[in-house]
Structure 1
Amino acid sequence: MTTSIWFWIAFHIGVFIAIGIDLFASKRRGRELSMRAAFQRTVIWVLVSLAFNAVVWRLKGPHHALDFLTGYLIEYSLSMDNIFVFVLIFAHFRVPPLAQRRVLVWGIVGALIMRGTMILCGIALVQRFHFVLYLFGAFLLITAARMLFRKRAVPDFTEGWLLRRGRQILPITREYHAEHFHVRVDGRWMLTPLALTMMVIEITDLIFAVDSIPAIFAITRDPFIVYTSNICAILGLRSLYFLLAGLMDRFVYLRTGLAFVLGFVGIKMILVDYFPIPRSLSLGIIVVILTFTIGISMLKTQNQVAGEDRK
């Protein structure tokens, strides 16, 4: 079923309205987002995505709605793992909390463009060369194995070629200027460290997309479902970051769970022509894996948190 161009337009209008409202509310608040506020906004974003899923159900049918929900769940869970790297980036650049929110908002806008381009290219490849699905499946299995058997590498931003060259080429101030990406200094326009942070966030998201986008091709190859499930998951990333940034140490088994999810999706992709796995079963398996790994993570770290509270 081909999606009407008006549905695409309506979706993007809704996305930019939602981003605008969120950004306006943050500016009006004028202070760091509290854990409670972050939780409330995270819930709102999830409810908005589920409401959109209901619209998909109504207009495109239950199969597409189930595909959207499964894709959304995969992308959202992978976003939780990505937050770990965002925490490191902000810590490395010593980004003030109030400035972090602007980087995340514009990071979402950049992700709209980058992921949209990658999804269109990926779908064109799959439609033209069916064997690419098997390559994507193999890639996901390799990614899953790396996540499962290799410790998470802490990125070294200071030694990156791009950053070294960036500091040599671009005029960058030594200090932050509120939430500005560029300022005029002695009559000369200069970038701030916040702009450099923004570049790193965008590049990091591009790397994440290479892992996450192929995963949803195992669920569906409908461009609209692939794209919207990705974007809906990304939209909630800002509030999710402020909710989970201080809790990442508690999700000790999340990476293991994500490895099993990617492994399952990779196998599903490879077997798609020989042993297709029903949509509902795929969704159920992913939900069980994530629920189990998050649950045992919280249980394992419960005593640790209780001990810290007693100190």
Structure 2
Amino acid sequence: MVDIPTWAWAATIAVIVALFVFDLLVAVRRPHRVGLREATFWSVFYIAFAVVFGLVLWWLAGSEAGTEYFSGWIVEKSLSIDNLFVFVIIFSRFGVPEQYQQKALLFGIAAALLLRTVLIAVGAAAISLFSFTFLIFGLVLIWTAVQLVRHRKEEPDVEDTWLVRRARGILPVSTDFHGGRMLAHEDGQRVMTPLLLVFIAIGSTDVLFALDSIPAVFGVTEEAFIVFTANAFALLGLRALFFLIEGLLERLVYLSIGLSVILAFIGVKLILLFLHEDVSHSVPKIPTPLSLLVILLILVVTTIASLVRVRKHPEERAQAGSIRKKRDRPRSEEEAGAR
């Protein structure tokens, strides 16, 4: 166990909040299309910051804590790339202009960070109170991995979530973005802009991603501080990373399979940990350094295999993948008549 003093928690949270506010000011004060040079600079900056933090943690808390942090950070960073797939789909479906995409991305990052902080606290409490929590987490990850492989060529239905449907029923939706505002008036009537629906759609998908990512990182470490910082530093800089690899995303045709293998591997690790602690110490545990090596190997193989596949079949495009089958919507009368 790593004993993290209160001042270290406070200082770390202050740094994370300061970085997020800084990112928010850069994006919102001057809405613009992010170019490759800008995206590269900020992506390198946030990745370097996360690496430096890990090295400082390694130096102060020891190699075990450092290895756990880097393992958790790499897992969360790879899962966050799947988030970017969904952001692309949301922006496309709602027709978000490029100058407003930064604002939407930062909302998604803030919502994900807040939601994951709550779930981290809940997960840490559950682990300390119930020994079978690792078993539940492991089964959830394996189920998610299987579903992601089954529906790897499908896209999540971002327009038909429960929250989006409820929002559409409260106020009429404008077709105009009204300068990036969320609410506006048209013909004397209050309306919501598409940007507000985008925020709601992103928030809805954040819930699903958090339910996968939190058990996954707890499979690497039980330390709440490491879980929190690995998540936070994986999410920070996601805005710039989106614009940097937007074109590369569609080439990662095997990403869903790679993430599924990682989730299944961590799920097995959690189940073995439960059996080791609660059934018999003769059941082997998977050490964290080995986990880090396996995760890195899966990501490297997935990326290389994807690029080779697309080079041979340039017409292929990656799909975001979904953990459930997209339900068929009833056709409108106009669509039915057209048939």
Alignment TM-score, normalising by the size of structure 2: 0.84
2:251 is the alignment partner of 1:247: no
Any idea what SS the aligned residue of 2:3 has?
Answer: coil
2:284 paired residue number: 275
2:295 paired residue number: 286
Letter in 2 for 1:107: G
1:175 paired residue number: 176
Preserved contact between residue 171 and residue 190 of structure 2 (Cα < 8 Å): no
1:118 paired residue number: 119
Alpha-carbon distance between aligned partners in 2 of 1:160 and 1:28, rounded to the nearest angstrom: 31
1:6-85 alignment runs, 5 A limit: 6-27=7-28, 30-85=31-86
Preserved contact between residue 28 and residue 103 of structure 2 (Cα < 8 Å): no
1:190, CA displacement in angstroms? 4.7
**Residues 80-103 of structure 1, C-alpha deviation per residue, up to 9 Å, x if partnerless?**
122111111111111111111011
Letter in 2 for 1:286: I
Letter in 1 for 2:58: W
1:159, CA displacement in angstroms? 3.8
Change (3 A) 1:228 1:188: farther
**Residues 107-130 of structure 1, C-alpha deviation per residue, up to 9 Å, x if partnerless?**
222222111001110111111111
1:196 paired residue number: 197
Number of equivalent positions: 306
Alpha-carbon distance between aligned partners in 2 of 1:5 and 1:171, rounded to the nearest angstrom: 47
**Residues 45-64 of structure 1, C-alpha deviation per residue, up to 9 Å, x if partnerless?**
11110011122113322211
Letter in 1 for 2:299: L
Preserved contact between residue 163 and residue 204 of structure 2 (Cα < 8 Å): no
Residue range with higher mean Cα deviation, 157-166 or 94-103: 157-166
Gaps of 5+ in 2: 277-282, 316-339
1:247, CA displacement in angstroms? 2.2
Preserved contact between residue 111 and residue 206 of structure 2 (Cα < 8 Å): no
2:88 is the alignment partner of 1:87: yes
| RMSD (CA atoms) | 2.1
1:128 paired residue number: 129
1:108 paired residue number: 109
Letter in 1 for 2:246: A
1:202-221 alignment runs, 5 A limit: 202-221=203-222
Preserved contact between residue 173 and residue 192 of structure 2 (Cα < 8 Å): yes
Change (3 A) 1:186 1:11: farther
Any idea what SS the aligned residue of 1:207 has?
Answer: helix
Alpha-carbon distance between aligned partners in 1 of 2:67 and 2:219, rounded to the nearest angstrom: 13
Alpha-carbon distance between aligned partners in 2 of 1:32 and 1:214, rounded to the nearest angstrom: 35
1:297 paired residue number: 306
Letter in 1 for 2:250: D
**Residues 167-207 of structure 1, C-alpha deviation per residue, up to 9 Å, x if partnerless?**
12135433102232234667776532211211110110111
**Residues 266-301 of structure 1, C-alpha deviation per residue, up to 9 Å, x if partnerless?**
111111122111221110111011111101211222
Alpha-carbon distance between aligned partners in 2 of 1:153 and 1:172, rounded to the nearest angstrom: 27
Letter in 2 for 1:147: L
Residue range with higher mean Cα deviation, 137-146 or 166-175: 166-175
Change (3 A) 1:138 1:296: same
1:309 paired residue number: none
Letter in 1 for 2:11: A
1:14, CA displacement in angstroms? 1.1
Gaps of 5+ in 1: 307-311
Alpha-carbon distance between aligned partners in 2 of 1:138 and 1:40, rounded to the nearest angstrom: 39
Alpha-carbon distance between aligned partners in 1 of 2:148 and 2:163, rounded to the nearest angstrom: 25
1:6, CA displacement in angstroms? 1.6
Alignment TM-score, normalising by the size of structure 1: 0.91
Preserved contact between residue 164 and residue 200 of structure 2 (Cα < 8 Å): no
Identity between Structure 1 and Structure 2 (%): 37
Residue range with higher mean Cα deviation, 11-20 or 151-160: 151-160
Alpha-carbon distance between aligned partners in 2 of 1:161 and 1:142, rounded to the nearest angstrom: 22
